[in-house]
Structure 1
């Protein structure tokens, strides 16, 4: 009974977390439009940050609850699910080439490389944390350099005020949901006798990836393929450049070697595949059959990975 109660409260926390993220994304986008930010930049920044907000707030809450393994597992696990599951599903629905700016892949690749270096020495140093912040600054520079900015919007002051209020409501939901998720994820891990790292890599990672999945479904429905790719790139960058420095600056975690030997290798391979497919989507003649095949492989690899973590395979 205690286990079921903790699982129910964990799912409730994740639900509040995702609800808060959706509110934040929806109304922050209205604010950005009012300020004259283009759709593509909104996708790569506000929507990407908003859909990463659950992971970021989980990281902050985990630090305060001395559960850094959950924060690390959630950041890496979410990036794996973003590529293998969410981008894998997207590949099944692509109908044409995308005009995604490939310069955005550079900060994405750098964040993966720095993560590998960070995991190698078994700890997250201050210099490494600063390095991730540097990648964030580079990412924002690339956006400002290569993406267009639209004219200032003309929304009514009342609409602007309403969106500002509701985005703050969403932020409160993010904070509350992340705290509830961390507390009951830790309790569930203790009851089941499994590590907090596995909980972060599986249950919380998948739960906090739901905003990315929702944003992807909406973008695919509107035929905005570039927004799908942009959201995954931005979300994966934000997951690392925010969560890892939080752990480095405020945590005391000694990194588990299994993360480097297992999870980082999976993330690296998937990231290389994602970069190759994104390049093909932007520069090569579109081949629907090839992307359907790639999507099936990515989804199957995710199911295999989760099966291995759960001990089913």
Structure 2
């Protein structure tokens, strides 16, 4: 009986991961088609639907975990996914072909990622709310996300030096992103100039189909997230493995499988610079969106020791990643092997410490 129950719950876990990842893909595709049919530019679609949609599996799994009282699982899933991106995914991409990058990724995105990691550490170890991310702190993370996406949009047209980290800090602290958002709403780029005769068939044929696909995909993502967490809870209880260990290892790896596939293809086709930027940008969105929404909707208390291990690991690996890029503006195959090795090492250390292997 117990064997059958384990098989069912492992099946739920695997099926939930499949629904979560594939449902997110279809949701992004249908939402993108829908936005294009309304004349939204590729730039805005990329900065909103695609950017946020790629973080949907991690965010939904974390929301489902927090709803079930698993704050540690939610935290471990998001930081685990972020660590996976800058070690395993980047490393595998570099093994396929060396990844070139430039000062923009270094001076803007990588520094912003480190900034968010540092702010998150201060929030978790805030003596007035130890082990918690309180609502005002979560709101700051969400504002950082809005500022970051606005900065990417604004910098393409308004600022020649917007790859600089100091410009972003000024942009955020002086709330310039609010002006950028107002401008985008008032004068949206790329509005379709199609005539009503040209858009009528599009409205009748494409829109209903994509709305239906988007709705079904959203339901699939929600169900998948719930199945993943239900399976995790049972596996954790039956095996004695802590939930945050499962989140840091299995769930974060599974939700990163699409990125691994993309990284190999991108590297082979010479898009290494784009890949590195996407991985760092994905981390910024994962942390700011996931750990911004979760504490507001489902507040919870973290295991400070486990959270501390994760935060230190993320910050150390972020600085190493920064150094690797800064050294010669590329990630070589040898450095790719090093990044993959670091991923395996951090996994082993976290599992050992979280499970109390060393007493």
TM-score, length of structure 1 as denominator length:
0.85
Once the two structures are superposed, what CA deviation does each residue of 1:130-185 show, in whole Å capped at 9, x if it has no partner? 11012112111211112369745679713455344323332222111001101111
Match status 1:268 vs 2:307:
no
Once the two structures are superposed, what CA deviation does each residue of 1:38-85 show, in whole Å capped at 9, x if it has no partner? 36x655543332221011111221222122221111011111111111
Distance 1:163 1:100, change over 3 A: farther
Q: CA deviation at 1:280?
A: 5.7
- Give 1:297's aligned residue: 338
Q: CA deviation at 1:189?
A: 0.5
Give the alignment's Cα RMSD to 1 decimal.
2.9
SS at match of 1:255: coil
Give the Cα–Cα distance (whole angstroms) in 2 for the partners of residues 33 and 219 of structure 1. Answer: 25
Asked if structure 2 preserves the Cα contact closer than 8 Å seen for 1:119 and 1:259, the reply is no
Asked if structure 2 preserves the Cα contact closer than 8 Å seen for 1:43 and 1:231, the reply is no
Match status 1:210 vs 2:257:
yes
Q: CA deviation at 1:95?
A: 5.0
Give the Cα–Cα distance (whole angstroms) in 2 for the partners of residues 22 and 91 of structure 1. Answer: 24
Give the Cα–Cα distance (whole angstroms) in 1 for the partners of residues 62 and 251 of structure 2. Answer: 11
Give the Cα–Cα distance (whole angstroms) in 1 for the partners of residues 327 and 206 of structure 2. Answer: 40
Q: Report the more deviating stretch, 173-182 or 303-312.
A: 303-312
Asked if structure 1 preserves the Cα contact closer than 8 Å seen for 2:81 and 2:253, the reply is yes
Distance 1:27 1:279, change over 3 A: farther
SS at match of 1:118: helix
- Give 1:23's aligned residue: 26
Q: Report the more deviating stretch, 204-213 or 178-187.
A: 204-213
Structure 1: tracts of 5 or more residues without a match: none
Distance 1:82 1:114, change over 3 A: same
Asked if structure 2 preserves the Cα contact closer than 8 Å seen for 1:133 and 1:242, the reply is yes
Give the Cα–Cα distance (whole angstroms) in 1 for the partners of residues 338 and 239 of structure 2. Answer: 31
Structure 2: tracts of 5 or more residues without a match: 158-187
Give the Cα–Cα distance (whole angstroms) in 1 for the partners of residues 246 and 264 of structure 2. Answer: 26
Q: 1:56 aligns with which of 55, 59, 81?
A: 59
Give the Cα–Cα distance (whole angstroms) in 2 for the partners of residues 306 and 221 of structure 1. Answer: 27
Give the Cα–Cα distance (whole angstroms) in 1 for the partners of residues 132 and 295 of structure 2. Answer: 8
Consecutive aligned runs of 4 or more in structure 1 exceeding 6 Å deviation: 153-156
Match status 1:191 vs 2:238:
yes
Asked if structure 2 preserves the Cα contact closer than 8 Å seen for 1:107 and 1:135, the reply is no
Q: Report the more deviating stretch, 80-89 or 231-240.
A: 231-240
Give the Cα–Cα distance (whole angstroms) in 2 for the partners of residues 146 and 271 of structure 1. Answer: 24
- Give 2:135's aligned residue: 126
Q: 2:86 aligns with which of 83, 88, 97?
A: 83
- Give 2:49's aligned residue: 46
